[in-house]
């Protein structure tokens, strides 16, 4: 008997993995604390949105933060400063949005 994973089993495994970070709704009806998604977005912008189940927003926030952060590191003095402020604003937005959306769920 072979121990390799084949065909439909891979799809089921990947589908289960993609939903691993999505917060499930609780039966008590109270909102979550929002602290976990906010803390995750503080470390890596966009991860809090991913935890809240907002994949498209998570990708957008991460791409903007990564692009502005990379441009800040390699930028000229004036352009680098402006891009640094944009990166900071994106990071603050990611943390705040993750917290607010986590409280709503």
Q: Residue 17 is encoded by which pair of tokens?
A: 């993995």
Q: Residue 99 is encoded by which pair of tokens?
A: 């917290």
Average pLDDT over residues 8-12: 51
Report d(CA 85, CA 31) in Å as an integer.
32
Q: What is the pLDDT of residues 35-87, one digit of tens each?
A: 999 999 999 999 999 999 999 999 999 999 999 988 888 877 788 888 889 99
User: Model-level pTM?
Assistant: 0.67
Higher pLDDT, 21 or 74: 74
CB atoms within 10 A of CB 52: 28
Report d(CA 92, CA 100) in Å as an integer.
12
- Break the chain into its structural domains and give their ranges: 32-104
């Amino acid at each position: 008997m072979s121990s390799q994973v084949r065909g439909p089993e891979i799809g089921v495994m990947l589908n289960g993995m993609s939903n691993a970070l999505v917060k499930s709704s609780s039966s008590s009806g109270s909102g979550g604390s929002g602290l976990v998604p906010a803390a995750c977005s503080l470390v890596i912008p966009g991860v809090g949105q991913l935890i809240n189940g907002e994949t498209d927003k998570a990708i957008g926030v991460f791409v903007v933060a990564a692009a502005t952060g990379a441009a800040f590191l390699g930028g000229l003095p004036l352009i680098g400063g402006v891009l640094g402020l944009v990166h900071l604003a994106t990071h603050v937005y990611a943390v705040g949005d993750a917290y607010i959306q986590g409280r709503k769920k």
